[in-house]
Amino acid sequence: MIKYAAAIDQGTTGTRCMIFGRDGRVVSAEYAEHRQIYPQPGWVEHDAMEIWTNTRRVVTAALAKAEVRPEEIAGVGITNQRETTLVWDKTTGQPLYNAIVWQCTRTLPICQQIIDDGLEDIFRAKTGLPIATYFSGPKIKWLLDNVPAVREKAEAGEALFGNMDTWLIWNLAGGAGTAEGAHVTDPTNASRTMLMNLETLDWDDELLEILGVPCSMLPAIRPSSDKTGYGYTRPTGAFGDQVPVCGDLGDQQAALFGQACYGVGEAKNTYGTGCFMLLNTGEQIVPSESGLLTTVAYSLEQEQAIYALEGSIAITGAAVQWLRDNLGIIRNAAETQSIAQSVADTGGCYFVPAFSGLFAPYWDMYARGVIVGLTRYTNKAHIVRATLESIAYQTRDVMEAMRVDSGIEFTTLKVDGGATVNDFLMQLQADILGVPVVRPTINETTALGAAYAAGLATGLWSGLDDLKRNWGVDRTFEPAWEEKRRTKGYAGWKKAVARTRDWVEK
């Protein structure tokens, strides 16, 4: 009997497999972290084979922990770190280079050349995206231009490109020497490449020509929830049987889906390595005038795609990780709450973690991180608190831009992701925004959204109304700051952001 949906959540810092019941509750979960590779300043890479090995391991462990049999799983949904770019040999299945992570800034010269050539408006009109190192298209070009094996295999039709969703599906449902059908993606991921046309939901020949990317490298684009489009897991693989792979959503769109934001004007904010706010705009493609992205929210079988406005922030949870791994001033993320609460404020200190430049709403590839307002009074606790405040202030930057673009005044903000367990951060977020922050009962909404996509395709859930009934409130954080404090704090933040701008010379 079919009882469950499985999700593989392949994130920037690790990979998780989660099994969900019909009520949306977690039945089982397993997680494995992978290495962050920094070959030189500004470069970030992942070992794709390590990620695939970890994926097999967490799937096996999650199934065993809950004693779930393959025949009880309705389907598998994939959600993934978007924009991270991989090219591999379709015959051997071996990566031709490490995966280039979305945070990596090595493509800055390529992006600047596109801007200098006056082509930015073409990309913006067709893809809803600005020219930035964030996206996959320039990363593919960098690989073609700098890795001889990639160019050679691409010209021979033997190279395959994919974001991490495509890589996992290809290995789960096919692998080396298998049918082309396993080389697939969905519109939410394809919309982050700078190569897909938002209106046609297909690869755009003009954009491919500009970046010099052969169409033969690209996966087929299928709906985010698709019963037959992705194939079945191999009987000899981690699932131990042929389980349909029938859901695929980029991580932030998956969180929107898992938060049941199916109506126009509904929004969520996800706190992970970065921070990402999405606002459902329905079937309407809404161009942004305020530094946001226009993107695909999700697409269901036989239905029109649903679009969203997105504010993407590169470094939020990663700034906490930086405190731990680079500075060594915390042992783990959990202790930031007690350390930050040990001081009444930041002592006038602001931390703008523009390690990969500034994303929304500024889109400054040349910005770099700063800590400002330091005095002899400043101690570790002030810097830790400033790090948490930076997460909340960056979110306010995005919310202000969304108000302008959409005309919507936010009355609440749904939140999800690992950092939402930090009650102090969530209260800070409400205080800095001036609107209530609502945390759901099920926090891992990214994986849940992928499971929902798979379960919808196979009938575990009957429709969106079925999914809405699973959503519930864990806690609402009400704003406590006076408006004067809120206004003064945000003014200081904007002043600090100005200090980061154009740090790297063009």
Contact 309, 294 (CB under 8 A): yes
Smallest CA-to-CA distance from 295 within 280, 309, 315, 313 is with: 309
pLDDT of residue 349: 95
Length of the chain: 506
Q: Give the phi and the psi of residue 391 in degrees, each rounded to 5.
A: -65, -45
* Cα–Cα distances in angstroms (integers) from residue 73 to residues 3, 229, 236, 241, in the given order: 6, 18, 16, 10
Measured CA angle at 242 (ends 236, 245), to 5 deg: 115
pLDDT of residue 178: 53
pLDDT of residue 228: 78
The stretches in the chain having pLDDT less than 50 are: 177, 179
What are the pLDDT digits (tens) for 374-399? 999 999 999 999 999 999 999 999 99
pLDDT of residue 189: 96
Query: How remote is the C-alpha of 220 from its chain's centroid?
Result: 21
3-class DSSP state for residue 131? Answer: coil
Quick one: which H or E segment has residue 4? strand 4-10
Which distant-in-sequence residues (6+ apart) come within 8 Å of 292 by Cβ?
A: 309, 310, 311, 360, 361, 398, 401, 402, 405
Distance CA 399, CA 311 (A): 8
